[in-house]
Amino acid sequence: MLKSRFIVRLVYANLWLAALVFCAAGCGGSASDESADGQVFRYNASDGLASLDPAQARDLESMWVIDQLYEGLVELTPSLKVVGALARSWQVDSAGTEIVFHLRSGVSFHGGQPLTAADVVASWSRIVDPKVASPGRWIFDNLAARVDEEGHPGFFARDDSTVVVQLRSPQPNFAGLLCTPYASVVRAGGAAGLDLLTEADGTGPFKLGWWAPGVALVLHRHAGYWQRDSAGRGLPYLEAVHISFNREPAVEYLGLLQGRFDFVSGIDPAYAGELLDDEGDLLGQMEGMLRYERVPYLKTDYIGILVDSEAVEKLGVPVAGVEVRRAMSLGVDRAAMSRYLRRGTTEPAVGFVPPGMPGFASGGRSALRYDPDEARQMMEGLGFTPEEPMTGLWLSTKPETADLCAYLQHAWQQIGVDVRIDVAPSGVDAERVARGEAPLFRKSWLADYPDAENYLALFTSERKAPDGPNYARFSDPTVDSLYNRMQVERNANLRLDLQREMERAVLKQMPVIPLWHDRVSHFLRKEVAGWQISPSNRLDLRRVRKQNQNHNQKQ
């Protein structure tokens, strides 16, 4: 039965791909032009694309497109180092509250206009404008209220090539925040004259060719792009990028095998066995066709536990005290989950902050281990056994993670905790978690910037839901104090010590049960060269080329 379903899905995928090729040939001149050139990179974005506006970059697939169209003052290297992009340099004053950015010369927008400091100010002004309602407004939370007679909100153009930022208090990670797509620079006139949801005028390596929502999007090479390789050749090497939109996993899988897609990020569990062996390595028969690259991802999947007594009382469920929470953590075999549920594409959690985060080595910092015997003893001390378990708790989840929750349900039954699983649509699940209407819930956290503060902020009192992502509604004065000290500490080593101490304090009370850290997993066709993979899973196509094809590099 499973095999017949697999075949049906592959037949559907073949039909859909044939329709897409027909559409690409007939939907417009840009599509036919790109099909004539071998240097076209193709992939599928299964979740579609709602907007081209950097201010609304809410999901990874939107970020991938925005990264091709736009740039910020700074960017992340694959090793997660913050380096200059549109800014050639920047300085921080001795107080740590004023940052001066110096822009590169010779940078132009897709429309030909030169980049100026006014474009930066206009772009950031959109982010802090309540009317824009950008989810990235938080990156400017620490701006000085007024910095000049015109009342600029913490940043202004000193001249055409200089941008000044003034902060209320020192913020060592501010430059890292500007690596998020929200801080990308749009043309000042374009921000007023273009519909940025559907149009684009950035400085990025590619410009918008055409977009048929729900079908495909095509980007063309920006011939005037400022960056060059070490040999002085203009980037990017690719002539175009073709992005399809289809939710059917079989389309991606079959398209990759047939060479219609050059890249797939991750793989649906239904097809993982067709590509990977039991150890999570690429199958031998695939090695002549594909390449499998992976690095630790700045992402943690976890089970959250509602710890606010008032919220728990309102739900009428038992209180999962700290001893119960610790026992539930000890009862989880993270290594087995990673291997059997995710075929080795994840790493067992070593803490809440993932190992890919700079400065956070896994050795010696994890409070997580698998010890079901100790877990049972802890529950017996509270009066519960597998035969007479603690009851009344339930775990909210969405359909995509029901297999994980069923595994956890079984594991917890073995130590004396009987948890009911409640599967709901993603939107319903997210809403009731935000409202404090689920005693247990499954969540994940993906870093916006390469600093452990991005993870630890989830446990501060000021971020308690519904005002922030602290869905466990955890509050502890010691944790808050460590966070506040860490925020203003400018010595990198002392700051890292505070971060580690704060994580230990959180895990001691276990308001969340970290499960695993994802890996960035990229499946690539063998002919793709120049690929860069990063723990942030951003898509950098500037140096990508397709080998063994005719290619006339434009200078």
CATH numbers and ranges of domains, the chain: 2-51+204-262+527-546 (3.40.190.10), 71-193 (3.90.76.10), 297-518 (3.10.105.10)
Q: What is the pLDDT at residue 203? A: 97
Q: Determine the pLDDT at residue 148.
A: 57
Contact by Cβ (8 Å): 323, 374: no
Q: What is the pLDDT of residue 48?
A: 85
At residue 501, the pLDDT reads 93
306 CB neighbour count, 10 Å cutoff: 26
Distance, in Å, from the CA atom of 56 to the CA atom of 62, rounded to the nearest integer, reads 9
pLDDT at 18: 47
Sort 113 into a burial class: Cβ within 10 Å, 0-12 / 13-18 / 19+.
middle
CA-to-CA distance for 225 and 234, rounded, in angstroms? 7
* Angle 256-348-525 from CA coordinates, rounded to 5°: 15
Angle at 318 between CA 315 and CA 319, to 5 degrees: 100
CA–CA dist 538, 446 (Å, integer): 12
At CA 321, angle to CA 318 and CA 327, rounded to 5? Answer: 105
CA–CA dist 237, 228 (Å, integer): 10
In the numeric block, which tokens belong to residue 476?
Answer: 């502890």
Please tell me the predicted confidence (pLDDT) of residue 193. Answer: 61
Quote the pTM value: 0.78
Please give the pLDDT value at position 191: 54
Secondary element (H or E) of residue 192 = helix 188-193
Sign of the Cα pseudo-torsion (161, 166, 170, 172, in order):
negative
Q: Say whether 130 sits in a helix, a strand or coil.
A: coil
User: What is the C-alpha to C-alpha distance for residues 182 and 128, in angstroms, rounded to an integer?
Assistant: 11
Q: Which of 95, 219, 227 is CA-nearest to residue 165?
A: 95
pLDDT in tens, 407-420: 999 999 999 999 99
Identify which of 170, 161, 203 has the alpha carbon closest to the alpha carbon of residue 66.
Answer: 203
> 76 pairs with which residues across the strands?
82
| Each residue's pLDDT tens digit, 140-197 | 988 987 655 666 679 999 999 999 999 998 888 899 999 999 999 999 865 556 677 7
Strand-pair partners of 300: 445, 517
Which pLDDT belongs to residue 146?
Answer: 64
Residues in the chain, overall count: 555
- Identify the helix (H) or strand (E) that includes residue 24: helix 2-26
Low-confidence ranges of the chain (pLDDT < 50): 1-36, 363-364, 549-555
